[in-house]
Structure 1
Amino acid sequence: MSAAAACWHCGLPAPDNSYLAHTPDGDRPTCCSGCAAAVEMVHQLGFSDYYRLRSRTAPVADKKQAEHVLALFAMPALLDPYLSPGRDNPALRRLRLQLGDIHCAACCWLIEKVVLDLPGIHLAQVNLATMQLTLEYDPALPGVAEEAVTRVLELGYDVALPGDPQRDQRLAQENRRMLGRLILAGIGAMQAMMYGAFLYLDIFDGDAVFQDVFRLTSMVISTPVVFYAGWPFFQGAFRGLRHRHLTMDVPIALALALAWFGSVANIAWGGTHSYFESASMFVFFLLISRTIELKQQHRIQRAWQRLQDTLPRIVRRLEGGNSAWVSAREIQPGDILLMTQGETVPVDVTVLEGEAEVSEAALTGESVPVHVATGQLVQAGAKLLEGHFNARAEGTVDNSLVAQIAEQVSQASDERLEIVRDWQKVAPVFILFTLILAAATLAIHWSSGPGTAFSYMLALLVVTCPCALALAVPMAMSATLSTALREGLLIASPRQLLAIPRLRGVMFDKTGTLTQGSFHITEVEDLGDAISLNERLRLVAALERDHPHPLARAFDGQDTATDVTELRMARHGASGTWRDARWTITGAPQHARPGTTCLELSRDGSPSLRLWLADELRPEAAQVIQQLRRHRLQVRLASGDAKPAVESVATQLHLDGHRGEMTPQQKAHWLTQLEQLEGPQMMIGDGINDAPALLAASVAVAPGNATSLARRAAGIYLLGDSLRQLPSLPDLSRRCRHTVYQNLAWTALYNIVAIPLAMGGYIAPWAAAIGMASSSLIVTLNANRINKWKASSS
């Protein structure tokens, strides 16, 4: 069948004129009515550029599966658990969908354009790395999500809700398909090489009959290897050339086609040279590299998807003394939840009553159970191994640590390093250069005979395959993200990770970062009042009960006054009306003592009570500071707490600098000054007031107990409630950088050596296939060595 008879949409064989798609450029042949409808829809919506931009053919829609998917999206009860408020506009609804069968940037572009064209859609964004579509739409318009899914299905792409079992089925199916191609190529390559070896050794002593039989057998064996196992390369090359775009598949497909068709022509003309075994080995070794690459991509997808899948769909909420099962999506801050043995915490909670042993392995990778009791924060995703407790929800499902991790991993997948963008620009030039060298090789050796010149040209095309160069950086970064996540380090910004070796200093916040953030009262001074001390202490607990500052946690679980009115919160304290007086509690830094923070309760402006609170250093803080100094980093402390408390911590840890009573803007300004004077700086902070400094830093790190705003501002996140993994970041960064540079150096050296040898005729086509595949395999295996990295715990 001629090339013109291929389906314009999916590339499958199309019966002549059976199904024609009517487009402004004329009728296009398609293989079925579904593809014809897809082609016409793309053109009618004004997105005909898709067929010019894509590098692979479009998928074929499965009508039966599409009906099943649409039925799911037509049921609000099934869709609601996956909805969240819009990022910038809470009135909108945000929905993330899992896609299948997308292969290139053109697929992403088409889906975004088609979906965004629908009324009510405000955002449509496709992440090619995670194969997810993020939608934001107006819920006031009925059926918007269903219509968007319909459009995507009509284009032939698979759609599923995140966490849907079909996702794992699709990944398994993709793995089986790749494995099937690899096995076929491996068996075929071995058989073709065996027959080729007999021909090279000339064991038939000139017997033409047996030689012809072996050549024909080698051709039969190599045909399914080249045209089935190697079909994805032909697809990519054909679509790229049709749209005047050089892809990496072009030299691969050209080499395969020349090897197979050239061998057939040579046999038909009575020649003795054939390259069936070279073509088969070429496909086999290339598929080995792509199989490993595919497994690496699936590994990181499953790693962060497992975090999302840990959250339960339903939970028991206490209402009026009774418990009732509700959707986890209904949980709001302040709701009281009942958690028992075997259950998983759906949102970040604070334990109010009871105690339990919980496993945080899903978040931190640490298998040792953690004991939690009254007043302690438990992150979403923790599983109760033993015991039970009642807990207060501190946020919704979408504000939980697990949700933040998913969002940050998605952002990390979207982030493009400069070196990757540069390669995307250079790749077409490199491929064009390869084709020019191939033509030059043919011309140079033509005088030695067409067969010899053809063999040298084929070897050059094979040996200079740019796949290794294309895999050098992405494979290293993918392995790093996956390994870091396994070790409890979330890399939301690969760019920040690679910047760590250039750091000159580290700035810490104090409360909740270097200290445990669990204040306790050390001393109380009664300044005199008609109201008893115990009653005023109950008033202090009432004023501080809902305050977000870590100091307020010192009053959790204490008896509170119940008749406080006109309660108001401020950054430095709280106030309220009680017993016909206006009471205010605020910081009193002028009365602070070393290692403590002072709070003062005033009645109508007159001091009534002073309390001193202390916070303990994290047990690992001193060791972490010492390890950071080994990396020649200046360590400083910036805090909004009283200067005596800050100075006490700085003295205990022997820090290089410290400042207290700083506003968020002053922290950011000091950090900016240090960057200008010394060089790049790292900021580690957990609070809302640390966000400006985190955004200003070259590298921003948030510890495990960080607030939602600090998590969003940070580029690196410590999943465990400890700083022990912080000193390991420089080692991980250097390991990643060295791997990237090793891969790039290897591919550059390989091409510098291989190209002249191939042009000179010193490399046979079969040896070129081994060299090319080995180069890609070395890059992939070198990147996978990062998986053996372990975070330092010393």
Structure 2
Amino acid sequence: MERHPGTARRRLAPLSPAAAGPGRRSIGRHGAAPVTILCAHCGEVAPTPPFLAPGDGGERPACCPGCAAAMALIHDLGLDDYYRLRGADGAAAPDLEERDRALALFDVPELLAAHRQPDPAGERLTLALSGLTCAACCWLIEKAAGDIPGVVSVRTNLAAMTLTLTYHRPEVPRAVAERLLKLGYGVTLPGDPVAEADQRREARRLLGRLALAGLGAMQAMMYSAALYLGVLDGDDEIYAWVFRIASFLVATPVVFYAGWPFFQGAWRGLRAGHPGMDLPVALALGLAWSGSLVNMAMGGGHVYFDSAAMFVFFLLLSRWLEQRQRHRVRATWRRLEDALPLVVRRLDGDGETWVASRQVRAGDRLSLSQGEVIPVDGVVVEGTAQVAESALTGEPLPRPAGAGDLLHAGARLVEGALLLDAAAPAADSLVARIGEQVSRAQSERLPLVRDWGRVAPLFTLAVLGLAAITLALHWSSGPALAFEHTLAVLVVTCPCALALAVPLTVSATLGAALKDGVLVASPAQLLALDRVRGALFDKTGTLTEGRFELAGSRTPDGDQDPDHHRDLLAVAAALEHGHPHPLARAFDDLPAAHLSEVRVLTGGASGRQQGRLWEIGPAPGDAAAPAGTSALLLREDGVPRLLLFLRDRTRPEAAPLLEAWRQRGWQLRLASGDGEAAVAALAGKLGLDQYRARCTPEQKVDWLRALQRDEGPQVMVGDGINDAPALLEASVSVATANSTSLARRAAGLYLLRADLTPLTRLPRLARKARNRINQNLTWALGYNLLAVPLAMAGWVPPWAAALGMSASSLIVTFNAARLSRWPSSFC
């Protein structure tokens, strides 16, 4: 009878020794007792008789239906190589109740919507994983999920325990989750309490290993101090043996429990054919422990248990500090996200209804009272309140908020009550954008990091070669002495400091910038800011506040009395109602006429009234607009009827920013789509070197491209949709706090506050970050160049090598951490 793929059957008789596989252990003789069989998937003891699942070499034993189903699925997908790549370690399949709970998350569209992002190929979704043990797990997941119809790409991150899925069918996320759960891995949405608990457990485990290594290193050093100082003579040999044995007992759990991640990492690298920095570490630890044990058994006087324990402690300390620094930026916005309310009161008709914050859509009217936190970005339509925005801006004092003010999710009402019109769903709020751009920043790999990833295997092989040369050079002096010098070379050349030099500095820099009100989506752009040669600014909403007001109007015959223009102003207000351009906001408070067929056009709008076509758009260049204003022209059936003059206020912090950048020798320019008069007036007021008016997006890109070709890297600062192409083209791009969604996505740097002041300090932060990177790399390289010859010459004992290597890593770590005090320590 043919069996359906993916199912397993229970065998009714004990397996033969041949079928039991390598995990079986015989308990009795001549068949008098059953055979203990281990599950081929997770390694647990299987029942007798076991469950069976198909495999390349025939049927394999399983401990439960879950593991059997996982093994059958792997076989049906043609992925049996997973067991060869993985080795003996495995993960148990989740039980049915746990699996159903995990899959239930993927049946709620509102939950998935919070984590989906648009992608050119469809949609992109990030999932949290658990149960991954090595690179073979990543290989299996990518192969298994990549075969599902609708999947465009699958990328796993072993360090972050995440899966990034790109797809174009709505049913794909649940199908992927179901397949991964069948394979025995945990999969859930980011922020799920189960995944958070797993991450906390891993953090506690690392901290526990570090604590054990620290205590063990101190104890082992205490026992070894008497041996190093030579205070024990021949009559005290029994005490020397006691100290050696005590050092052995203390160091063994440090090496093989606390240091297990290094052995595991070394084995993974070897199995994948890419030896990494864990290989010389594991080799040094293994040689120090085993060599000391052999030397002690043969009656030798030198043991290095204390060196091995101290080596593990300082390596784990560096790893813990790196992890803590790396997660600091993510934790900042995660705390903000967790502070958002789960429910909010929405006005429906004449009443209020409690709804989930995830269900809020643009245009919903929300009611908020004193003490509540705003769940989405929105505009105040009624009421006054004192609003605390310290979680977003760092400003400790609350500010007043009233009708027309834009408030962001995460702000808390200290006093008062408000009615708020939601500007966008929760998934499009400032908090959500921060999370997206933090993820983008963490996924970006700097050229130095990519280069180190390529050089690391060569560096490891070079270290092993130097160790072999050292062993050969000193062999004539005796195997024990040659072993000691070789061990010192392996320890002293640990590339931890080199590996940490760039990532730790970048992580500290991102945290410092965020504290100063700048969200960095592209670390490479931030580091490039110190090498910029000029800046190109947009005008409206960037150097100006973007809050236009009507400064006057005039008919073609010269009439400037606004009372005579009341009907024409009502037509203009109707055309501009709902237009996204900042100029249109000047008409929001004016009474509007009734028009039909209103359409938003490039640079204006059109509509009909009683058969007549009305159009509004930029006035021609010969329109005599007052200085500092932008001119619009209202036409009726193509005939000019009214000139409208709009005035925008310059940002008060614009002049200090430009002066600070001018002192750096940068050329400052202005590119705007506004009219000649307004652009020229602002450029003259701020002392800009050049300006261009009536620029289209393409013209901004062309100008920026020419400047970068002739002068060098340029920074672009903008806020609008028309600035997005130039932001993508610039070496460094900055989107202001009031920028459009497209501009934010195009920019590498994003201001969290409606204030340009942080940009004044940002080049100095970039310079200090680059200096820190250079200092760390110089120190790490210089240390290795100095220490390696000394160790090969036999002038550095293993304990001193461990101390020097650890000190080198700690110096790099603390030097990078100094940036976290920005800006207080440098301003």
Give me the TM-score of the superposition, normalised by structure 1.
0.91
Contact 1:5/1:16 (8 A) holds in 2: no
CA displacement, residues 55-89 of structure 1 (integer Å, 9 cap, x when unaligned): 99665555488447426426527735536464336
2:588 is aligned with 1:556: yes
Closer, same or farther: CA 728–41 of 1 in aligned 2, 3 Å: farther
Q: Could you say what secondary structure the match of 1:253 adopts?
A: helix
2:569 is aligned with 1:540: no
- Corresponding residue number in structure 1 for 2:648: 615
Which amino acid counterpart does residue 135 of structure 1 have in structure 2?
A: L
Contact 2:330/2:438 (8 A) holds in 1: no
Where do residues 139-538 of structure 1 align in structure 2 (5 Å cutoff)? Answer: 141=171, 144-206=172-234, 207-526=236-555, 533-538=565-570
Which amino acid counterpart does residue 671 of structure 1 have in structure 2?
A: L
Closer, same or farther: CA 51–729 of 1 in aligned 2, 3 Å: farther
Contact 2:126/2:163 (8 A) holds in 1: yes
For residue 257 of structure 1, report the CA deviation from its aligned partner.
1.1
Rounded to whole Å, the distance in 1 between the matches of 2:392 and 2:208 is 35
Give the RMSD, CA atoms, in angstroms: 3.2
Closer, same or farther: CA 65–452 of 1 in aligned 2, 3 Å: farther
Rounded to whole Å, the distance in 2 between the matches of 1:682 and 1:552 is 28
- Corresponding residue number in structure 2 for 1:594: 627
Contact 1:573/1:586 (8 A) holds in 2: yes
Closer, same or farther: CA 635–8 of 1 in aligned 2, 3 Å: farther
Rounded to whole Å, the distance in 2 between the matches of 1:155 and 1:481 is 37
Rounded to whole Å, the distance in 2 between the matches of 1:661 and 1:759 is 69
Q: Could you say what secondary structure the match of 1:725 adopts?
A: helix
2:162 is aligned with 1:132: yes
Q: Could you say what secondary structure the match of 2:354 adopts?
A: strand
For residue 430 of structure 1, report the CA deviation from its aligned partner.
0.8
Which amino acid counterpart does residue 623 of structure 1 have in structure 2?
A: P
Q: Could you say what secondary structure the match of 2:307 adopts?
A: helix
Closer, same or farther: CA 495–72 of 1 in aligned 2, 3 Å: same
CA displacement, residues 115-141 of structure 1 (integer Å, 9 cap, x when unaligned): 222234344333556543333556664
Q: Could you say what secondary structure the match of 2:384 adopts?
A: strand
Contact 1:307/1:362 (8 A) holds in 2: yes
For residue 550 of structure 1, report the CA deviation from its aligned partner.
0.3
For residue 202 of structure 1, report the CA deviation from its aligned partner.
3.7
- Corresponding residue number in structure 2 for 1:575: 606
- Corresponding residue number in structure 2 for 1:784: 817
Rounded to whole Å, the distance in 1 between the matches of 2:70 and 2:291 is 37
CA displacement, residues 86-122 of structure 1 (integer Å, 9 cap, x when unaligned): 4336xx6654322345576654444333222223434
Contact 2:333/2:431 (8 A) holds in 1: no
CA displacement, residues 577-619 of structure 1 (integer Å, 9 cap, x when unaligned): 1244222222214322210011222222223322211000001
- Farther-moved stretch of structure 1 (494-503 vs 345-354): 345-354
- Farther-moved stretch of structure 1 (163-172 vs 488-497): 163-172
- Farther-moved stretch of structure 1 (304-313 vs 493-502): 304-313
Q: Could you say what secondary structure the match of 2:794 adopts?
A: coil
Give the number of the structure with larger relative contact order, counting CA–CA contacts within 8 Å between residues 6 or more apart.
Answer: 1
Which amino acid counterpart does residue 470 of structure 1 have in structure 2?
A: A
Closer, same or farther: CA 361–113 of 1 in aligned 2, 3 Å: farther
Q: Could you say what secondary structure the match of 1:133 adopts?
A: strand
For residue 477 of structure 1, report the CA deviation from its aligned partner.
1.2
Contact 2:721/2:743 (8 A) holds in 1: yes
Closer, same or farther: CA 129–526 of 1 in aligned 2, 3 Å: farther
Gaps of 5+ in 1: none
Which amino acid counterpart does residue 724 of structure 1 have in structure 2?
A: T
For residue 741 of structure 1, report the CA deviation from its aligned partner.
1.1
CA displacement, residues 344-393 of structure 1 (integer Å, 9 cap, x when unaligned): 33333222233332222232222232323222322333332222333333
- Corresponding residue number in structure 1 for 2:13: none
Contact 2:103/2:178 (8 A) holds in 1: no
- 1:730 aligned to which of 763, 774, 777: 763
Q: Could you say what secondary structure the match of 1:270 adopts?
A: coil
Q: Could you say what secondary structure the match of 2:276 adopts?
A: coil
Closer, same or farther: CA 609–382 of 1 in aligned 2, 3 Å: same
Q: Could you say what secondary structure the match of 1:507 adopts?
A: strand
Q: Could you say what secondary structure the match of 2:757 adopts?
A: coil
Rounded to whole Å, the distance in 2 between the matches of 1:71 and 1:23 is 27
Q: Could you say what secondary structure the match of 1:726 adopts?
A: helix
Closer, same or farther: CA 243–97 of 1 in aligned 2, 3 Å: closer
- Corresponding residue number in structure 2 for 1:97: 127
Closer, same or farther: CA 338–740 of 1 in aligned 2, 3 Å: same
Closer, same or farther: CA 678–321 of 1 in aligned 2, 3 Å: same
- Corresponding residue number in structure 1 for 2:18: none
- Farther-moved stretch of structure 1 (619-628 vs 101-110): 101-110
Rounded to whole Å, the distance in 1 between the matches of 2:671 and 2:123 is 39
Gaps of 5+ in 2: 1-21, 25-37
- Corresponding residue number in structure 2 for 1:695: 728
Rounded to whole Å, the distance in 2 between the matches of 1:643 and 1:662 is 10
- Farther-moved stretch of structure 1 (657-666 vs 53-62): 53-62
Closer, same or farther: CA 16–341 of 1 in aligned 2, 3 Å: closer
- Corresponding residue number in structure 2 for 1:743: 776
CA displacement, residues 653-678 of structure 1 (integer Å, 9 cap, x when unaligned): 01111111111111111111111111
For residue 525 of structure 1, report the CA deviation from its aligned partner.
2.6
Which amino acid counterpart does residue 585 of structure 2 have in structure 1?
A: R
Closer, same or farther: CA 475–80 of 1 in aligned 2, 3 Å: closer
- Corresponding residue number in structure 1 for 2:683: 650
Rounded to whole Å, the distance in 1 between the matches of 2:498 and 2:51 is 41
CA displacement, residues 444-489 of structure 1 (integer Å, 9 cap, x when unaligned): 1111111111111111111111121111111111221222222211
Contact 2:379/2:407 (8 A) holds in 1: yes
- Farther-moved stretch of structure 1 (232-241 vs 454-463): 232-241
Rounded to whole Å, the distance in 2 between the matches of 1:149 and 1:45 is 16
Closer, same or farther: CA 75–605 of 1 in aligned 2, 3 Å: closer
Contact 1:724/1:793 (8 A) holds in 2: no
Contact 2:716/2:727 (8 A) holds in 1: yes
Rounded to whole Å, the distance in 2 between the matches of 1:785 and 1:8 is 51
- Farther-moved stretch of structure 1 (392-401 vs 705-714): 392-401
Which amino acid counterpart does residue 443 of structure 2 have in structure 1?
A: D
Contact 1:351/1:378 (8 A) holds in 2: yes
For residue 301 of structure 1, report the CA deviation from its aligned partner.
2.6
Closer, same or farther: CA 492–231 of 1 in aligned 2, 3 Å: same
Q: Could you say what secondary structure the match of 2:321 adopts?
A: helix
Closer, same or farther: CA 449–34 of 1 in aligned 2, 3 Å: farther
- Corresponding residue number in structure 2 for 1:565: 596
Rounded to whole Å, the distance in 2 between the matches of 1:500 and 1:104 is 38
Contact 2:107/2:174 (8 A) holds in 1: no
- Corresponding residue number in structure 1 for 2:32: none
Identity across aligned pairs (percent)?
Answer: 52
- Corresponding residue number in structure 2 for 1:76: 108
Rounded to whole Å, the distance in 2 between the matches of 1:55 and 1:408 is 37
Instruction: Give the paired residue count.
Output: 787
- Corresponding residue number in structure 2 for 1:112: 142
Contact 2:105/2:189 (8 A) holds in 1: no
Contact 1:701/1:716 (8 A) holds in 2: yes
Which amino acid counterpart does residue 797 of structure 2 have in structure 1?
A: A
